[in-house]
Amino acid sequence: MAPTCSSGSAERLVGAPVRAVAPGGRGGNNRLSRVEAVDGRRFALKSYPATAGDDRDRLGVEFAALTFLKRHGVAEVPTALARDDRTGEALYEWIEGEPVTAPTAADIDAALCFAGRLHRLRRSAGAEALGWASEACTGGARLVHQTETRLRRLGEVATRHRGLGEVLDRAGGDLATYRGAALGFGDLADEARTLSPADFGFHNALRRPDGGLVFLDFEYFGWDDPVKLAAEFDLHPGMSLPPELSARWRDGIGAVYDDVPGFDRRLAAFRPLFALRWALIVLNEFLPERWARRQAAGATDAEAARARQLDKARTLLAKVSE
């Protein structure tokens, strides 16, 4: 198991004596500790390990995003409390809740409501200072380039891993089929962009004891094409939504972005490539630099992880032509 943050580090950010620091969960890229102060208060202490080849300021982006959202009255996210850029750690409100393992229609509506709130906040004070989301989709050419880059990088290691080359061959064929439709759209106009978590879904949410949802993980937050959020929500491999909930999402998200010029046409053209892009994203475990990040967050069994990711990629590729 990866080490948790030290009590000294926790006390420095809490600003008070700490009784205990315990593992609080682990994401693919970070470590999370649950901190209990002597006075009984609980906090989440998140560590953002630096990894070679990735210079994104995940701590800075997440802290700024949550600060912005709380300042504008968004209650469905944790409160950002303190940060230490030197050690790569940040302190947040501890959320008592359970994973959203069986989403309901009400949960879909809550997600739609949250997406709508983010969209309205694009004209709020401070929004203009926010950066682009990680790997933002700023146009058809950009989406194609991102997909081609991922395919090419995975191809460099394909001969070392059984089964990877077969999946990449299929992905390459799909890219050739759908790239032309995406290239027909130019760069995203300012009035067509929105604010997005960039990794939005129930895999990054907790259900509070009262049934309400809290959305987590905003380290890739920023400006993006609303088509990307709309398409990726029910494509994400961590979601596995039943058809009726996917349909509810697709119907509802069109209403959220009904003021975005050309939204429906771009969504129809881009969705196959977003499915393909996610099929390639889940294969990151095959890349040495990405597996190093997983190890920094506590992962150990590379062979088992890569077998799981190949299965996920095949499932996603089956969705490309839907």
Q: Where are the domains of the chain?
A: 7-93, 98-319
Cβ density class 234-252: b for 16+ within 10 Å, e for less: bbbbebebeeebbebbeeb
Taking the CA of residue 184 as centre, how many other CA atoms within 13 Å lie in the half-sphere pointing to its CB? 11
Percent residues over pLDDT 70 in the chain: 93
Higher pLDDT, 51 or 168: 168
Strands 89-93 and 42-47: antiparallel
pLDDT at 313: 94
CATH homologous superfamily of 98-319 equals Aminoglycoside phosphotransferase (APH), C-terminal lobe (3.90.1200.10)
In the predicted structure, residue 216 carries a pLDDT above the cut 80:
yes
Strands (E) in 191-319, as ranges, are 194-196, 205-207, 213-215, 222-224
pTM, two decimals, is 0.88
pLDDT at 28: 58
CATH homologous superfamily of 7-93 equals Phosphorylase Kinase; domain 1 (3.30.200.20)
Higher pLDDT, 216 or 3: 216
Q: Is the separation of the CB atoms in 222 and 128 below 8 Å?
A: no
What are the structure tokens assigned to 265, written together? 């046409």
pLDDT tens for residues 41-85?
Answer: 999 999 998 776 778 999 999 999 999 999 999 999 999 999 999
Of the pLDDT bands very low, low, confident and very high (cuts 50, 70, 90), residue 296 is low
pLDDT, mean over the chain:
91
pLDDT at 238: 79
pLDDT at 301: 75
pLDDT at 124: 97
pLDDT at 2: 39
Phi, psi torsion values for 61, nearest 5 degrees: -65, -45
pLDDT at 3: 39
What is the rounded CA–CA span in Å between residue 180 and residue 172?
13
What is the rounded CA–CA span in Å between residue 36 and residue 14?
10
pLDDT mean over 169-195: 94
What is the rounded CA–CA span in Å between residue 280 and residue 258?
30
pLDDT tens for residues 109-161?
Answer: 999 999 999 999 999 999 999 999 999 999 999 999 999 999 999 999 999 89
Cross-sheet strand order for the sheet of 205-207: 98-99, 205-207, 213-215
| Domain 98-319 in the same topology as domain 7-93 | no
